[in-house]
Structure formats: structure tokens, C-alpha cells
Amino acid sequence: MLEGVGVTTSRPAYVQPDGTSMYSAGSLFQLLRDGRPRTRAELAAETGLARSTVTQRVDALLASNLIGPADKAASTGGRPPTRFAFNPNARYVLAADIGATHARLALTDLAAEVLAQSADDLLVAAGPEIVLDWVDRVGHDLIRQAGRDPRDLLGVGIGLPGPVEHSTGRPVSPPIMPGWDGFDVQGYLQDRFGAVALVDNDVNIMALGEHNVAWSDAPHMMFVKVATGIGSGLISDGRLHRGAQGAAGDMGHLQLPHGTDVVCRCGNTGCLEAVASGAAIAAKLAARGIEASTSFDVVALARGGNIEALQLLRQAGRDIGEVLAAAVSLFNPSVIVIGGSLSQAGEHLIAGVREIVYRRSLPLATQDLRIVQSSTGDRAGIIGAAVMVIDHALAPAQVDLLMSAAPAAMS
Ligand SMILES: [Zn+2]
């Protein structure tokens, strides 16, 4: 036997890098996640698998309920099904979006469609136990009210308004979240819900949500949140780029080129956030004797046509544009989405961003670059938190695991 001589690979060719066999049931399932119904013959043609293998995989997926028959006749008990499609109701997800003063929680299906939701005024500064107990209590209420089996919970996703080390699910020195530093958010939620929990910062999940809903065909996208603070989330090659520790995209504390002496809450001077955030604009308006203390006040003034608010928004857009022009050169996105509460104030902010980015970036980087307003608005975080869980838990290896682990609970 000489076949093995000189072969250094440790796995057979039909095993993929993530350890699943090529077109295991979990891999075959990925094709169906786009929602388009397919026949066995179509699946065999797309994968190159034998019809008998496809039939075996499809039967296993049908038994798990992750796919269902797509023919009307079959579902009413007529002839056996010939076409199959993803069943987004097979399981469900809890998605939480925690802001500085407000919390939202939703129950979604496996397509990140919101089925039920709840929101409350809640201070993140009250500490992790109070906030996460709210998620625990309201989450279980939503599950009960929807009449769902707690065992069908696929996972819990949560976004927090501060830096998070994604691999451990722990916040790291979050400035506006006293008591949260190093807290095991992931472990706490997994304990309470008996399902996987994933944690990320709020801007990253907003980027995921916006990308999933509006830009899934744009592999390189940048999402900029302009609210009380400023931050961004990067989608690179269709995936969230978190960087080595999860700190990628934290653009609020980059220093503006035309430095100012404004002191930022981080201790440095001239940070973008200290000059162009909703809080900064509100402070500038207040200094001119106009009543404003939050980004929502700024939005209300702008919508009411207040000239000074509009001018300050335009200038904030230009300042953000200065930093984004550098990001465009480094990252070359095809879409920049401007989101967060301040983006709801109308066109002035985004006009300022466009003015500078198109002027300051090289033609090749901007010839097809689109700079647009967020289409998901305040739903971005919830949808993104759900997408984070779904993408993790419905990956090929996880689906294979799910199917071998508990077939009885899923039927
Ligand atoms: Zn700063």
C-alpha cells in the first residue's frame, strides 16, 4: 500500500476545516438557509452528492424540524413531499439590546424576524445583576406568552454599550457601566436560560443587524453609530471583523486632524466623540442658551428646523467624515451606513459626512462607495443580536451536533 506515502494531511478530503464532513446534514442545511425550496434532485445537483445520500440527509433534517416540506399537498397529508425549505420556526432566539438608559428584549424566529418584544427604561449603570435579572425575568415572560417550549430556545444574544471581549463574553473597563468590568455575562445568562449565550458591544450587533436586513450582498460594510457616543462596526468579507480583542471599530476616540482642546470622557483631548457626538452637540447648544441635554433633544430641535442645531449637525457630519476618510483608505468599504439616534435628525449629518469623505478619499475608493442612512433604525441592535446567535448556532458543525444530541426534543 503506497497511497499514504508522502501524504501529510491529517484528515480525509471530504472533511472541511471546521471538522464537519463535506455536505454533512449541517452543511447541506446551509444551502437551504436562504429560504428557497428545493427538490432532492436540485440538492444533489448543487452538492454533487448521490441521490441516496441527499435523501438520507434530508430525512435527518426533516426529523429535526429545521426544514419542512414546501409542497402544499404534502403538508396536508397528500403525496410525499418533493420540495423542502428552511423552517424558521423550528426554534427561537432571545435577543437583547442594552443601552445606557434603555433596554429592549425580543423573541425572534431563526430568520431573525421579531415575534414578540418588550422594552423598559433601565440604567445600565445599575449594575449587571439588576440588568441581567431583567433579561432573565422578561425573557422567560416572552417565552411563556408566546407559548414556546423553553427547550426550543436556540440561544441568547446580548449587546452592551461598552467594550466586550467576545471570546469570553466579558465587558472590559466599560466607561459608562460601573460594576460590569470582567463580569461573566455569558455564564450568567447560560445559567439562567440553559442555552448558549453570546455577548458583544452594541455597535457590532447593530452592524450585523443592518447588514443582514439591508446589505447582505455587500461584503464590505461599515456601520457608524452616532448617538450619545460614536462607534463603528466593520463587516469584512461578509463577517463581523472584531479584531484581536474585540476592540475593532472603536472610532469615537480617534483624534480629529484639526485638533481641539475639548477634553473627552476618556481623558484625552480632541477625540471625535468629544466634538461630534449627540452629547457634544447638546452641550454646544446649551452653551448658546438653547435648551438641550441629550441626543434626543438635538434630534427634536433639528426636526423642528432649529438653524443652530442643523448647522451643528452638518459640522458633526464633517468631523465624522474626517475620521471616516481615513477609514475608507484603510478598509475600502462599498457601503457606509450611518445609524444611531442622531442619524434620525434628517439629511444634514449625512450630508456633512459625504462632503468630506468624497473630497478626501482617493477616487478608486469612492467611485462605488455609498454613504446611506440606516434602514433598520432602532431595530438594528435586536436583529443583530439574534443574527449573532443564529449564525453561531446554525453553522454546519453546530447543526450536526444538535441533530446527533437531542433528536427526541426537537420532533
Ligand atoms: Zn476620547
Q: Report pLDDT digits (tens) over 13-46.
A: 445 555 555 678 999 999 999 889 999 999 998 8
CA 174 – ligand 1 centroid, Å:
13
DSSP-based three-state secondary structure for 372: strand
CA 410 – ligand 1 centroid, Å:
49
CA 117 – ligand 1 centroid, Å:
34
**Residue whose C-alpha cell reads 459608562 in the numeric block:** 176
pLDDT in tens, 92-101: 999 999 988 8
The cell numbers describing 248, all together, are: 475593532
> Which is it for the CA torsion 309, 310, 311, 313, positive or negative?
positive
Stated pTM of the model: 0.88
CA 9 – ligand 1 centroid, Å:
49
| CA 31/CA 22 separation, integer angstroms | 13
> Which residues are registered as beta bridge partners of 271?
255
Residues of the chain with pLDDT under 50: 1-14, 407-411
> Which residues are registered as beta bridge partners of 114?
108
DSSP 38-105: EEHHHHHHHH---HHHHHHHHHHHHHHTSEEE--HHHHTTSSPP-EEEE-TTSSEEEEEEE-SSEEEE
Report strand pairing: 164-165 vs 370-373: unpaired
CA 298 – ligand 1 centroid, Å:
21
CA 162 – ligand 1 centroid, Å:
13
Q: Contact 164/173 with Cβ under 8 angstroms?
A: no
The cell numbers describing 246, all together, are: 474585540
| CA 339/CA 318 separation, integer angstroms | 16
Residue 227's Cβ-count burial label (10 Å; 0-12, 13-18, 19+) is buried
What does the DSSP 8-state code read for residue 248? T
CA 282 – ligand 1 centroid, Å:
17
Quick one: which of 186, 137, 351, 163 has its CA closest to 251?
163
CA 274 – ligand 1 centroid, Å:
6
CA 231 – ligand 1 centroid, Å:
11
CA 51 – ligand 1 centroid, Å:
59
CA 252 – ligand 1 centroid, Å:
7
| CA 333/CA 331 separation, integer angstroms | 6
Give 23's Cβ-side CA count (13 Å radius).
17
| CA 209/CA 383 separation, integer angstroms | 5
CA 75 – ligand 1 centroid, Å:
58
107 membership: H or E segment, kind and range: strand 102-108
> Which residues are registered as beta bridge partners of 95?
106, 157
The cell numbers describing 180, all together, are: 460590569
The cell numbers describing 410, all together, are: 426537537
Cα 205 to its chain centre, rounded Å, is: 3
Quick one: which of 150, 142, 63 has its CA closest to 106?
142
The cell numbers describing 44, all together, are: 444533489
- Helix, strand and coil percent figures for the chain, each rounded to 5: 45, 20, 35
CA 307 – ligand 1 centroid, Å:
28
pLDDT score recorded for residue 77:
61
> Which is it for the CA torsion 67, 72, 77, 83, positive or negative?
negative
CA 294 – ligand 1 centroid, Å:
18
